[in-house]
Amino acid sequence: MATVRFYGDLQRYGRKFKLDVLTAGEALHALMLQIPGLRQHIQGDFYRVRIAGNDISEESVQLGMSSILRAGDVIHIIPRAVGAGGRFKRLRAAYWWWPV
């Protein structure tokens, strides 16, 4: 069982989802199929993704989204701040969504 947490503008779709999934990619795919408008909303902006305490960069997105989750892992989807700098890479949702 993993938990997906939405922040910022994504909270209009819900804040916290517990899912019985193997990977973060599977979790996001399931949510996009079940929540009307979520896929289009996510694909229209940039987000920071953190899985089990690890920030996912553009370079490691495929590995991060397909890695097997452990029970209790949390996937955080955080909108980027406009003009934000810092050490976190931002991800365009289209890069990290693919059919499972």
For residue range 42-91, what is the model confidence (pLDDT) as tens digits? 887 888 889 999 988 777 777 778 899 999 999 999 988 655 554 444 44
Bridge partners, 49 (sequence order) = 56, 77
Cα distances (Å, whole numbers) of residue 15 to 8, 31, 46, 77, 78: 9, 12, 18, 10, 11
Residues in the chain: 100
For residue range 17-47, what is the model confidence (pLDDT) as tens digits? 999 999 999 999 999 999 999 998 888 788 8
- Predicted structure pTM score: 0.80
Cα distances (Å, whole numbers) of residue 62 to 8, 30, 34, 66, 86: 24, 17, 22, 6, 22
- How much of the chain, in percent, has pLDDT values that exceed 90? 52
pLDDT at 9 exceeding the cut of 90: yes
Question: What is the set of domains in the chain, with CATH numbers?
Answer: 2-96 (3.10.20.30)
